[in-house]
Structure 1
């Protein structure tokens, strides 16, 4: 039976650009905002494109609605990403080491702050802090595996 083998490294494309704000903390935060915001806007663009293809038509109103939704989601995702990246970087600078604990603290603070800003109530703020810490820590551990 024929068999093929894939050899060589597999890597995803790297999208990188730099913005120099004159401060390393601000550089990381703005970079996180822009990159994660682009992911959020891209998600909405893909969903809206799918909906238009499913219906078989597009209107000016639908395109304007999609653009507004992309901007709103991009700004929200960017705020979460920028806050997380900035917090994690700040923890790294304060603690003087780079490890999973920075991700955990950054995720917890980001989850709590985003929940507090959204007025989710005291109990949900704690739950969102725990969720943020868990997701960020899991992501960091997965990153160590690759």
Structure 2
């Protein structure tokens, strides 16, 4: 179930969203968490650029907000697709192991690449990359 929390001192606010389906819950959770990472990455980069140039304008803030929304949506969509794929593979296989990450990463990489109008070899390369990254992350998580 997607959860979000905010704490300040001893006060804590915790929010949970239950969509009634574990697949949807995990997909939305991945979208929200990684989407926020993408949005904050843009905010940090643009804040650095403003500090470097020494100026801030309303136009720069508007462009930053627009970029934050686009990047957050893109990163969130990619994460949501991957999390949904991995969970689907886990349900079909009936096992929880690194192979789910591999298959989910391959499927996600291929799907996202194909949706980006890539062709043939590029889709295959993106599928391999998605599988490799997902599997590496799974192994790193296992080691820590």
Q: Which TM-score applies when normalising by structure 2?
A: 0.89
Matches of 1:32 and 1:106, distance apart in 2? 14
Shift of 1:31: 0.4
* Aligned counterparts, 1:54-69, within 5 A: 54-69=52-67
Q: Does 1:130 align with 2:143?
A: no
What is the alpha-carbon distance in structure 2 between the residues aligned to residue 83 and residue 45 of structure 1? 24
Distance in 1 between residues matched to 2:121 and 2:98, nearest whole Å: 25
Aligned 8 A contact 1:36 1:74 in 2 = yes
Measured on the aligned residues, the alpha-carbon RMSD in Å equals 1.3
| C-alpha displacement of 1:17 | 4.8
- Determine the C-alpha separation between the residues in 2 that align with 1:18 and 1:88: 22
- Tell me the residue number matched to 1:6: none
CA distance in structure 2 between the partners assigned to 1:107 and 1:94 by the alignment: 15
Give the equivalent residue in structure 2 for 1:140.
138
Aligned partner of 1:27 in structure 2 is: 25
Q: 5+ unaligned residues in a row in structure 2: which ranges?
A: 6-13
Give the secondary-structure state (helix, strand or coil) at the position aligned to 2:138: helix
Q: What is the deviation of 1:18?
A: 2.6
Conserved? CA contact 1:91–1:105, under 8 Å: yes
TM-score, structure 1 as length reference: 0.88
Say whether residues 1:36 and 2:41 are aligned partners. no
Q: Distance in 2 between matches of 1:59 and 1:144?
A: 46
Match of 1:50 among 35, 48, 70: 48
Structure 1: which 4+ aligned runs deviate by more than 4 Å? 14-17
Q: Deviations over 1:27-85 (max 9, x none)?
A: 00000000010000011110000000000011111100000000000000000000001
Pairwise mapping of residues 99-110 of structure 1 onto structure 2 (< 5 A)? 99-110=97-108
Partner residue, 2:9: none
Q: Residue deviations 1:67-104, cap 9 Å, x none?
A: 00000000000000000011101111111110000000
Aligned residue runs from structure 1 range 68-79, under 5 A: 68-79=66-77
Q: Structure 1 unaligned runs (5+)?
A: 1-13
